[in-house]
């Protein structure tokens, strides 16, 4: 059984050719990925990662929003129904096993999420939860339905909903999906380890967080979605938008062209626990 991902994997990045943490562990896991950079950034990225791993945006100054939209169109032009976008400050992908968080092969985790997603007709965005947000207990839901999908997202190219906001573009995209009857799926069974915001220099959005940036960002999302969906509170020692995702109750809809009886049983994708040698 091949655990090679089906959909293209993109990493929008800026001023982080070294370190580009996501590219580093993807390269170690032999993942096929592309780093998407501005024209003025291509020389250091090419020297570090090689020409074959780079895609160059048409111009500088598109920022993260423009990069995301360009990536979407690039994947569509290459005939894909979905595509992946990963932040550039992710350190690893892990597997949740009986309450333990264990690093695992990235190709395998990505392929498992793809297979699950492709079995349903109404998933707009799926992806990985942050490991830091998953409680370490033996009984844990393998995924959360209709919640925000964070920094490793598998996006449905066939839907009309796109990134559109300068601030909180990922949250806005999930809300577009959910308020229009599609589902999001956030996986706990596989998770991403991500460095905290503002702890890595560079990036497409770090300057947005300076001074009153956090409050501006939170209020900007609230203005678009109103108090029905978004509140602004003081959390983690800073202003933070809080979204009421629990109001979205619509279920997943199975595809009817799949033999669901043949999917019964356990598929561990060849994953084996290995004792770590000190």
Confidence check: pLDDT of 206 > 60:
no
Per-chain mean pLDDT for the chain:
91
- Residue 278: inside a domain: no
* CATH code at position 250: 3.90.550.10
Alpha carbon distance 173, 177 (integer Å): 6
- Residue 276: inside a domain: no
Q: What is the pTM of this model?
A: 0.91
Residue 207 structure tokens: 């300057």
With a CB cutoff of 8 Å and minimum separation 6, the contacts of 224 are: 165, 172, 230
Confidence check: pLDDT of 228 > 60:
yes
Residues 129-143 have a mean pLDDT of 88
Residues 45-65 have a mean pLDDT of 97
Paired residues of 85 in beta bridges: 10, 153
Alpha carbon distance 32, 34 (integer Å): 7
Q: What percent of the chain has pLDDT over 90?
A: 73
How many structural domains comprise the chain?
A: 1
- Residue 270: inside a domain: no
- Residue 80: inside a domain: yes
The helix (run of H) or strand (run of E) holding residue 73 is helix 63-77
- Residue 273: inside a domain: no
**Nearest CA to 116 among 11, 271, 251, 252?**
252
Domain enclosing residue 43, as ranges: 9-263
Alpha carbon distance 240, 238 (integer Å): 6
The reported pLDDT for the residue numbered 140 is: 86
Spatial contact of 113 and 150, defined as CB atoms under 8 Å apart: no
**What's the pLDDT band for 218 if we cut at 50, 70, 90?**
confident
């Amino acid at each position: 059984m091949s655990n090679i991902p089906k959909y293209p994997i993109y990493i929008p990045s800026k001023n982080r050719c070294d370190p580009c943490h996501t590219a580093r562990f993807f390269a170690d896991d032999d993942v096929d990925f592309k780093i998407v950079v501005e024209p003025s950034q291509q020389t250091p990225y090419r020297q570090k990662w090689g020409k074959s791993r780079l895609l160059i945006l048409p111009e500088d100054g598109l920022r993260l929003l423009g990069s995301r939209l360009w990536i979407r169109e690039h994947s569509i032009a290459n005939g894909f129904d979905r595509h992946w976008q990963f932040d550039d400050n992710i350190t690893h992908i892990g597997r949740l096993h009986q309450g333990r968080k264990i690093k695992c092969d990235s190709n395998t985790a990505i392929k498992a999420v793809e297979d699950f997603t492709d079995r349903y007709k109404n998933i707009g965005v799926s992806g990985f939860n942050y490991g830091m947000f998953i409680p370490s207990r033996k009984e844990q839901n393998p995924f959360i339905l209709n919640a925000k999908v964070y920094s490793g997202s598998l996006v449905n190219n066939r839907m009309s909903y796109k990134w559109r906001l300068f601030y909180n573009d990922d949250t806005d995209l999930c809300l577009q999906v959910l308020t229009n009857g599609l589902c999001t799926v956030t996986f706990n069974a596989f998770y991403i380890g991500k460095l905290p915001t503002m702890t890595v220099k560079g990036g497409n959005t770090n300057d947005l967080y300076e001074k009153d940036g956090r409050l501006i960002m939170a209020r900007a999302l609230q203005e678009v979605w109103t108090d029905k969906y978004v509140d602004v509170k003081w959390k983690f020692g800073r202003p933070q938008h809080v979204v009421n995702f629990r109001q979205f109750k619509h279920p997943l809809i199975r595809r009817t062209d799949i033999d669901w009886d043949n999917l019964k049983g356990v598929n561990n994708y060849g994953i084996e626990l290995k004792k770590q040698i000190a």
